[in-house]
Amino acid sequence: MLSEETPMMKQYKQIKSEYEDTFLFYRLGDFYELFFDDAIKAAQELEITLTRRGSKNEQHIPMCGVPYHSAEHYISTLIERGFKIAICEQVEDPKTAKGVVKREVVQIITPGTVMEGKSIQEKENNFIAALYPFSGQSAAFVKADLTTGETTGAVLNEDIIEWKREILRSDIKELVVPSFFEGEDLAMSSIVFSEEDDTELQSEFKQLVTGNVDKRLETAFAILTNYFKRTQKRALAHLQPLHVYNPNERMQLDLHSRRNLELTETMMENKKKGSLLWLMDQTVTAMGGRLVKKWIEEPLLNTTDINNRHSLVQSLLDHYFEREELRDRLRHVYDLERLAGKTSYGNVNARELVQLRRSLQELPDLFQLLETLNNSYVEELTERADDFTELRQLLEESLTDDPPISITEGGLIKTGYNAKLDEYKEASRNGKEWISRLEQEEREETGIKSLKVGFNRVFGYYIEVTKANIPFLPEGRYERKQTLTNAERYVTPELKEKESLILGAEEHSTQLEYQLFLEIREKVKSYLYPLQHTARIVSEIDVLQGFSLVSERHQYVRPEFSQEHTLSIQEGRHPVVEQVLDRGDYVANDIDLDSNQQMLLITGPNMAGKSTYMRQIALISIMAQAGCFVPALSANLPVFDQVFTRIGAADDLSSGQSTFMVEMLETRQALSLATPDSLILLDEIGRGTSTYDGMALAQSIVEYIHNEVGAKTLFSTHYHELTSLSNTLDKLKNVHVRAVEENGEIVFLHKVEQGKADRSYGIYVAKLADLPRDVLERAETLLHQFESSNGPVRDTVEKEEHLSSSQVENTIPRSKQKQEEQPEQLALFQPEEQYSHEDNVTKETETIIKDLKQTDILRMSPIEALETLYKYQQKLRS
């Protein structure tokens, strides 16, 4: 039976009761301790030892701890796994405390409010957002990055699907919602959800909401800033004024399109390398790295803004040497946004302020260099830039060139900045010189060459003599201070006096340096907004010089924009794929669509390059509207408001949705949201169901886009029967990716040409996959049977070719009825009991073929494809 709890444990439980959803890091001396369930969970997550409270009263309490000085690593690990941490510190001096030391939670660290550590990526924002729903299915959405102070918001007027799209597009780490909101439909594994009481929404940051701002946005902003106040418990002066945006002012790219086009990470490995961002990010500053990612995900719609970016890219292309010097100068500019944020937050150190000083020293020459470009847009960008003369002078005069990380141990302030500090440093320096002379004098007087004068924090200064030399010491002068195994330590009256002087001077010097540093930091705070403004200018210049570099390196061309909604690209290339091929191996292709021809129906064999061709059209448009030049000989483009893609297939197992259901949901998004100014890419729609269903859906979708939506559309298919739609749909034309047969083998030419493909070459692709010879021969036999007979599919389509669209739709059910009256459609293999021994088709072969049918080759990397083929080959050989 346990006796009464100790006062310390009572204090712990009382504090923990207020922070139930966090790990409570409870400060005890040099450790943060965790107890009860916190200890059990933390020990498992952090892989540290779980112990038990040592006293008799508390012997059954689980306990674990982490050192105070290395806690950041453990905190970052928990944050990355979606947990929250409450930091509980001692808020009074233990020496003067009566009873248990007073403790308080001084900060709550969450995935969206973390300010430093490995959770913060240099070239990525760390967004937290608030969503406040209103009646009528509208919601206010506000997001902020505490590390930079950026705050933006928008009113979302659509249903919950649109809310989810904006949340995912914003790439947030944490979402704050009012306590009344039940957001199960918004649940996402990558986002931590937090609640905030909305009964008293009195934000301390009202001054950041300026102009005629929608009241709904004010509410969401108050929810978010109240959450900051409750969790951070400190001033957040670096928060920038709320920037209100309209989601429709940027090209809309839903999550599926971002993933399918591999804008910022690859589909299979979720890595930056191999994505469009990997290619286009030639920035040299962390700020520029964050901005280029944002620009790729949010291309512009305003042609004036787009052309401004293109004009500066062109100027930088025309001034090679100036651009190279600009890149060199930018390399010495540190992360101004986050340095400003840390200054406001109160956790910037002297070394980081030296980084700020070095950055500011580069700015005058950098801006002067930009003037030589004679570009009106760069002049507009830099006309309101501050040169920070006074701040730069302050930091140059005050801080040493190589200060320590700690701000409490001295070594921060230059000589000459403060007279009193100079006096303390002189006294300390003279005292240490006296100590050095004392050692030499004592050696000469005693004749003991091994005598030395030392210092430690416990005993102060001392004279150390080995025991063998003790008889040589003069009597009466030395006072024993400490006995060691092989030596004795002594002091003299003179040494005591100097010790008091030296240590007093050092203590006063360290305390004064700390106070002076805090004053300097406060002065830097007054420059927060100018620093943030300059950071935005430098970021944009950095991104555009990167666009210039990549455009020159890969021979990109400046695109033009068509008022007539023309999409004309000559010798266009996929920007990423061409980089992984040997130089000259990539086959460039054209596209020509206008108001009279808006759809391409693309046929051709698998692996011929249909998906690559479709993707490159979308990527060229995104690059152009982001402000970069494009991989083509020439490009005349419309400004697309949205891009929808359905390329590749994958089950959504987490929500229990099949490949076909995912395909239909993504297609629905395109059909319901696309406008005549949109771009739609649909790859092999309908392949996830039976032939009749798939072909019927594919034809119906093509007709709907053609007749109702009017968007520029690329539609690839293996239903060759659909090519007859060009006879009835005047804005659709057939193209195919050419392949030829040579010596019984297929050769992919990767060239898009007019007209439809003459055949599918499916068996030839199977040969490339090294399927068993018996399987291939059997497939060829069956193919000849299909081609020589009037099968249900061929019969149906031939009868439907002369019908109107509405008649076709009415014909499909009759075809199904006819199918029921006739023998079933031929299967690729007969039922097992009908196989003869001569067929030699084993169950293992059937399994392999079934697996191959379900394998999505388009979503495989080359290495994965080779590994898969090797696996099947080994199975067949065994």
| Residues in contact with 803: Cβ distance below 8 Å, sequence separation at least 6, in sequence order | 811
Which residues, including other chains, have CB under 8 Å from residue 811's CB and lie 6 or more apart? 796, 799, 800, 803
Q: Would you give the DSSP letter of residue 708? A: I
pLDDT tens, position by position, 727-759: 999 999 999 998 887 776 777 788 999 998 776
Structure confidence at residue 398 (pLDDT) = 97
Return the closest-CA partner of residue 611 out of 589, 631, 582, 626: 589
Q: For residue 724, give the 3-state DSSP assignment.
A: helix
Strands (E), 604-717: 634-637, 642-646, 679-683, 712-716
3-state secondary structure of 401: coil
Ligand-binding site membership of 606 (annotated): yes
- Nearest CA to 75 out of 23, 127, 38 is that of 23
Tell me, which fold does domain 419-521 have in CATH? MutS, DNA mismatch repair protein; Chain A, domain 3 (1.10.1420)
The domain defined by 281-388+527-553 folds into MutS, DNA mismatch repair protein; Chain A, domain 3 (1.10.1420)
Residue 294 sits at the vertex; the CA angle it makes with 289 and 299, to the nearest 5 degrees, is: 130
What's the confidence (pLDDT) of residue 864? 61
Beta carbons of 542 and 381 less than 8 angstroms apart: no
Q: Which two tokens stand for residue 310?
A: 């293109």
How distant, in Å, are the alpha carbons of 82, 114, 255 from that of 111? 6, 6, 21
SS3 293: helix
pTM for this predicted structure: 0.81
599 carries a ligand binding annotation: no
Q: pLDDT for 457-483, tens place per residue?
A: 778 899 999 999 999 888 888 999 999
878 vs 864: CA distance, rounded Å: 21
Q: What is the reported pLDDT for 797?
A: 38
Confidence category of residue 825, pLDDT binned at 50, 70, 90:
very low
Give the amino acid at 44.
Answer: Q
Q: Has domain 7-109 been given CATH number 3.40.50.410?
A: no
Q: How confident is the model at residue 760 (pLDDT cuts 50, 70, 90)?
A: low
Distance between CA 334 and CA 336 in Å, rounded?
6
Long-range Cβ pairs for the range 202-209 (8 Å, 24+): 202/226, 204/229, 205/236, 205/239, 208/151, 208/239, 208/240, 208/241, 208/242, 209/241, 209/242
In this structure, the chain runs to a length of: 878
Helices (H) and strands (E) in the chain, counts: 27, 27
The residues, ordered by sequence, that sit 6+ positions from 839 with a Cβ below 8 Å of its Cβ are 774, 778
- Determine whether the annotation assigns residue 661 to a binding site: no
What six digits make up the tokens of 297? Answer: 């995900």
Task: Give the pLDDT confidence of 660-697 residue by residue, as tens digits.
Answer: 777 787 788 889 889 999 999 998 887 766 677 888 88
Classify domain 560-757 at the CATH class level. alpha beta
**Which of 85-94, 535-544, 644-653 is predicted most confidently?**
535-544
What is d(CA 229, CA 200) in angstroms, rounded to the nearest whole number? 13
Residue 24 reports pLDDT greater than 80: yes
Bridge-based pairing of strands 23-28 and 138-145 is unpaired
C-alpha R_g of the chain? 36
The answer to whether 610 is a known ligand-binding residue is: yes
CA–CA distance, 847 with 811 (Å, rounded to integer): 36
Its sign, for the CA torsion 458, 459, 465, 470, is negative
For position 180, what pLDDT does the model report?
85
Per-residue pLDDT reduced to its tens digit, 29-75: 899 999 999 999 999 999 999 998 765 555 678 999 999 988 999 99
Can you tell me the distance from the alpha carbon of 506 to that of 496, in angstroms, rounded to the nearest whole number?
A: 15
Query: Does the annotation flag 588 for ligand binding?
Result: no
pLDDT at residue 821 in the model: 39
Reported confidence tier of residue 650, pLDDT bands at 50, 70, 90: very low
Q: Which CATH superfamily is domain 127-249 in?
A: MutS, connector domain (3.30.420.110)
Does the pLDDT at position 819 exceed 70?
Answer: no
Residue 510: which pLDDT band, with cuts at 50, 70 and 90?
Answer: very high
Q: Comparing C-alpha atoms, which of 75, 72, 35, 39 is closest to residue 55?
A: 35
Q: Is 831 annotated as a binding residue?
A: no
φ, ψ dihedrals at 636, nearest 5°:
-120, 110
pLDDT tens, residue by residue, 536-585: 999 999 999 999 999 999 999 999 999 889 999 999 999 999 998 876 78
Closest CA to 186 of 176, 201, 200, 199: 176
Is the pLDDT reported for residue 392 higher than 70? yes
Q: For residues 648 and 257, give the distance between their C-alpha atoms in angstroms, rounded to a whole number.
A: 11
Question: Tens digits of per-residue pLDDT, 833-877?
Answer: 444 444 445 567 777 777 777 776 656 655 566 667 767 776 776
Q: Is 604 annotated as a binding residue?
A: yes
